[in-house]
Amino acid sequence: MLVSSDKVLLDTFADLLIMQDVCGFAKKPCFECANCQKVQSGNALDIEVFGEQKNILVADSNKVVADSVIVPFEFEKKYFILKNFDKATEQAQNKLLKVIEEPRIFDKFILLASNLDAVLPTIRSRVETFRLPALSKEEIFSVLKYEPFDREVLKKSLDLCDGNLTKCLKILNDADFFQMQALAERLVMFMQSSAHMLEYASEIIKYKGKIGDFLEILNGIYVELLKTKYNSNQTLDARQSQLNVMASKYSNLALIKIIEQINLAIAKTKSNLAVTEIVDNLLLKILEIKYLCK
């Protein structure tokens, strides 16, 4: 099982593990032989992927079990990549216990997850688990430097992505990201009264179609502030100086409670509640928490 919040990194590592096995050249993986090319293009007959378009359900687990008895066609092994495994239903995970614990000699299962705690203990005890470290700015830059991104925008994205390639790509491909980031930072820094609350609510509603993205950005800022509170050994660059100033306006308890409220608001965006109501309630909660947890 590979664990990371970076979905692009997880997908890449899964492919690398398979190419390491199937590569036809001495330097493994070579990225050039027919087998490596098949893995990279997604055209390998002996690789089955589940959980990419939708969460894994019992029907998917049943197909994995059924297909696990079929011998491989072109490789020595069959590979089952189970993406977003932490979001698979409990029943679906349970269905896979036996084939994961006692795989046939030609079967290999690669489970990808961002939240290990959401994977059943019985599954965790049957697999080898590897937590993938976050990438450095330099590593992400080396991946993206030949892409047609504006260099200044790429630099800003590297500063904000927390070593997460998936997040960096999302920032680079969202024309509204930096405006939403700036709005979220002003809110965190300056919202102090109900009058301010109404002002910020009206600005947030302009991004009504991207409210989930805005709340994720807001949540990310508060998480950064909490990390800042607990880590006094961070390098003091321009970004960290800004975080230090923002963090000074909140107690540790306030940050924890605000993060909880934002996560609740994110969950509500997936229901039929009005966006205006979600935003107003969240901003009111933030003001209350700041006042009560000084």
Closest-CA residue to 252 (of 282, 236, 281, 231): 231
Per-residue pLDDT of the chain (294 residues; tens, 9 = 90+): 999 999 999 999 999 999 999 998 888 899 999 999 999 999 999 999 999 989 999 999 999 999 999 999 999 999 999 999 999 999 999 999 999 999 999 999 999 999 999 999 999 999 999 999 999 999 999 999 999 999 999 999 998 898 999 999 999 999 999 999 999 999 999 999 888 999 999 999 999 999 999 999 999 999 989 988 887 666 667 777 888 888 888 999 999 999 999 999 999 998 888 999 999 999 999 999 999 987
CA 288 – CA 284 distance, rounded (Å): 6
CA 112 – CA 80 distance, rounded (Å): 11
Sequence ranges of the domains in the chain: 2-131, 174-292
CA 123 – CA 195 distance, rounded (Å): 51
- Position 233 scores a pLDDT of 62
Q: What is the dihedral of CA 70, 97, 13, 147, to 10 degrees?
A: 90
pTM of the predicted model as reported, rounded to 2 decimal places = 0.82
Cβ–Cβ < 8 Å for 175, 181: no
Domains 2-131 and 174-292 belong to one CATH topology: no
In sequence order, what are the beta bridge partners of 48?
80
CATH code linked to domain 174-292:
1.20.272.10
Bond from prior residue into 72 cis (ω within 30 degrees of 0): no
Domain 2-131, classified CATH 3.40.50.300, yes or no: yes
